[in-house]
Each structure stands twice: as C-alpha cells, then as structure tokens.
Structure 1
Amino acid sequence: MTDTLDSIPLFPLSSVVLPGGRIPLQLFEPRYLDMLARCMREDRGFVVLLLREGRETGGGATFHDIGTYVRIIDFQQLDNGLLGITAEGQWKVAIRRHWLAPDGLNWGEAEALPFEAEDAIPAARSELASVLRALLKHPVVNNLAMKVDFSSAREVGWRLIELLPLDRPEKQRLLELQDPLERLDRLQALLDAME
C-alpha cells in the first residue's frame, strides 16, 4: 500500500465497496472505458466513492471524500454488449483534492487511511457472522467468490456493510468508522431495529 495516490481516477457510485469486497460493474460510457484501458495498461486501480448527489451516468455528481481504492480482477464482454468488470477493494482512502477532466472523468489525490485493527468478533456479536454466512449464500453474492474470515470483526463488518439493505448515508458512516468493534455494535443496533 502506498500512502499517497497522485492523479487517480475516481468512480462515484450509488453503492460502497470495502477492502476485500468485490463489486461487478457494467461500463459503457467512453470516459469509463478509457479509464479501464488506462488502468489495465498501467496496472493500477481507481477509487470507488459513494455518490452524495447526482447519478452514476452523465455528469455533475457530487460524492463523499472517503472511499476505497479498488483493482480490476476480471473483465468480460456481457450478453448485453456492455463490458463487465469485477473490481476488488484494496484499502480505504481519503480524497484530498479532486477535479473534473475535459472528458468528464473525475480525478483526485488520495491518501491511504490506516488499516483497521484485526480484532476477533466478541461473543456478544457472533450472530453477525451467522447473518453474513446466510447473505453469502445468495447466488449473486456467491458468484463473487469472496473469501471471508468469519472470526475477524473487521471483515465481517465490511461485508455486512456491503450486503445489508441499509440506506446509503448509513453505509457511508459505517465505512468511515476506523474501529471494527464500534462498527459491529452499530450493525447489531441496526439489525435489532429491522426486526
């Protein structure tokens, strides 16, 4: 992991991805096809950021400044004629400065956030690992072939953020937390409220 990423492509989306998580994307806009070609040619990734306002397509979107640096791990031509990629989260980053290029692609300078502590799941939060196991059995999620350490508070929390039906602002708040145990406490409270 590098501490600073100068001039890195930014990809605002209506979803979040965290380290170790995988996200399938369909690319059709020229700016993102060019970004993909550049990333493949230069063997580097891009940053996924949650949209604050606006849409994934077109322009004029605003986005949060904490997101995840991802790398492309697979790509293929889809049946609908679009290019499909799978990106995997590497580490969380903070965007220090960003700008819009003439082609409409967002670029920025990013700083890697400290990697979170590797805490074990407390017994009082073991139910969360069971919830995650059930979610990973869904065919769409199962196809992503994510590897999860179910004893890790960090990994269980990260995957639950991605997979639970939480509103976008809540997912962003959870992504921004740096304490895995605090995140699990918040996730448990949210699950309790859903029941």
Structure 2
Amino acid sequence: MKVPVFPLNSVVLPGGRIPLQLFEPRYIDMLTRCMKGDQGFVITLLRDGAETGRVASFYETGTYVRIIDFQQLDNGLLGITVEGEAKVSITRTWQQNDGLNLCEMVFLPVEVSGSIPTAFYELPSVLRALFRHPVIQELGMSVDYEDARDVSWRLTELLPLDKQEKQHLMEMQDPIARLSRLQGLLEALEEG
C-alpha cells in the first residue's frame, strides 16, 4: 500500500489521537489528497532532522492514521486531529519533488488484548491521572482501563519519556512486556 509519511517528534499508537498544525504546502496537498481519497497516512518518529523542511531520516515502524477532524486555527494555520488505526512497517520510501515523503507499507499483526496482570495494578491509575489533564480531555480519546494493550499504548504516548524509548515501546508487540517496561521506567522516574 502506497501512502504519505508524516515524520514527527511524537509517537501515536492505534486508538491514540494527536493534533497537528499544517502550514507547509506539501502537507496541505497531502491533506487534500487524503480527504478526497478517503485515505490515511503514516506517522513515524524522526530519527534525526526537523519536522519542517527536508527530513533526514525516520523510523521504519509507525502508525497508519486517519483524519478525524480539521479546522482553521486562530493563528491562521490549518489544524487537524488524527487517530491511529494500526501499526505498520515501512518497506520502501521515496520523496516527491515537493519534499513529501511517500512509502510502501504493510500492516503489522494486531496485538492481542487481555487483562492487566496484578503486578501492574497501579498503571491504570497513572493513566487515569494523565487523562484528567485538560489537553488530553480535549482529544476525546477512549480507553479500556482493564485492557493491557490499551493502557500500555496510552501510557507510551502520554508519559514524559525519551522519544527513542517511546519508539522502542511502540515496536514491542507484547502488551504485557510493554507494561513491564513502563513500570520499570515509572519507578526510575520516581527515584530520579
């Protein structure tokens, strides 16, 4: 499947939402094509380079997202909100003359959902606290606080972690292993 790539300094996972501001012509054209073709695009984390201008490099694992809302912002820019649908592996990339990155991608297997083991009983409470923040509430995301996959995905997105750590967590396919890693990272944050 051939789709545009939107490299960012942020990670979004299936079910997660992220607001974006579009001002570069290549991304406004991308938005138009995606809306006309009822198609999404891939958000992936930058390895290095900047979100604006020509991107140096980005990770091969990202998330296929769809536009769920758009509006003109007070600053005159176009604002969109996207929601993650599925994790993907980017198999080939190239850049158009206007600088828009395109890729061929395949969908990764859907992670199994399941209940949260008692060893991680505190993690849903941490997520509930994050969801009380007004900026997060504005996104209107839903989460199943009893599902290991949902809780691990949202914590990966929302916790103040290093971006490479977020990418590592995103690339994991086992929600329980991700919860274990998140718990260790939270304990390190509390100590440090």
Regarding TM over 0.5, the answer is yes
TM-score, normalised relative to structure 2: 0.98
Q: What residue is the counterpart of 2:188 in the other structure?
A: 193
Q: What residue is the counterpart of 1:51 in the other structure?
A: 46
TM-score, normalised relative to structure 1: 0.97
Candidates 136, 143, 149, aligned match of 1:154: 149
Deviations 1:74-104 (A, max 9, x none): 0000000000000000000000000011110
Q: What residue is the counterpart of 1:168 in the other structure?
A: 163
Candidates 55, 62, 76, aligned match of 2:57: 62
Helix, strand or coil at the partner of 1:148: coil
Q: Distance in 1 between matches of 2:92 and 2:115?
A: 35
Deviations 1:104-125 (A, max 9, x none): 0000000000000112101110
Q: What residue is the counterpart of 2:179 in the other structure?
A: 184
TM alignment of 1:1-195, pairs within 5 A: 5=1, 7-195=2-190
Q: Distance in 1 between matches of 2:98 and 2:182?
A: 39
Q: Distance in 2 between matches of 1:119 and 1:103?
A: 44
Q: Distance in 2 between matches of 1:50 and 1:8?
A: 16
Gaps of 5+ in 2: none
Q: Partner letter of residue 166 of structure 2?
A: K
Q: Distance in 1 between matches of 2:19 and 2:175?
A: 25
Q: Distance in 1 between matches of 2:133 and 2:54?
A: 33
Q: Distance in 1 between matches of 2:115 and 2:92?
A: 35
Helix, strand or coil at the partner of 1:87: strand
Q: Distance in 2 between matches of 1:188 and 1:61?
A: 33
Q: Distance in 2 between matches of 1:60 and 1:139?
A: 32
Helix, strand or coil at the partner of 1:18: coil
Q: Distance in 2 between matches of 1:162 and 1:179?
A: 16
Q: Partner letter of residue 125 of structure 1?
A: F
Q: Distance in 1 between matches of 2:106 and 2:52?
A: 26
Q: CA RMSD in A?
A: 0.5
